[in-house]
Amino acid sequence: MLNGRIAEAEKRTGAQVVLAVIGKSDTYAEIPWKAFALGASGAGLLVLIMNILWPLTSPAQAALLAIVMLLAAGAGFALLTVFVPDFARLFLSLHRAHVETRQYAESLFLSRQLFDTRERKAVLLLVSLFERRVVVLPDTGLARQFNQESTAKIIKHMRIYLKAGQTARALEAGLKKMEEFLIGGAERASSDNELPDQIIEEKGA
């Protein structure tokens, strides 16, 4: 369905539209360690409270209990970040998510040679699922249509569907809004299909 919508939008606007869905833009190796630190810190506080309220007579037993609880809590939190994306996302800063998603989009733009159109009128609309971020990356021939304001409006129309886990609906909403900006702000160029209409799907990092 979306492939057909892409082809229709390209015919009406003369632009080359590429949609991409990425699982994750980076490995974020620091996330499990952040979770481990939080779990261990919480367990340390719990151990302190337990020692005050119910002190053990044996220092060796108290030390052993503290070590076991700290390691268990830290390891448990770290494992949660591996298997529960919503939990892992708590340890990801908005700035880092923005930077990594943008870099992935730029890399994809180059690796797929989206710049190789006659009039440099290609635009990439990328959704990174883990980060829940959207990147609109136009080539030089479309830079005027996709300024900061228009890009923000496109992302705003998509965000409600992304939060609900409706990726296809989000892409459709973004494509529709992109088409409005393309029709309203550019002269219609050639309708030749220079790039594939299939949605790019990658697991990512």
Domains and CATH numbers, the chain: 2-27+93-204 (3.10.310.50), 30-89 (no CATH)
Q: What is the pLDDT of residues 155-193, one digit of tens each?
A: 999 999 998 889 999 999 999 999 988 887 555 555 678
State mean pLDDT over 50-54.
84
**Rounded to two decimals, what is the model's pTM?**
0.86
Which structure tokens are listed for 1? 């369905």
State mean pLDDT over 31-45.
95
Q: What is the pLDDT of residues 123-155, one digit of tens each?
A: 999 999 999 999 999 999 898 888 889 999 999
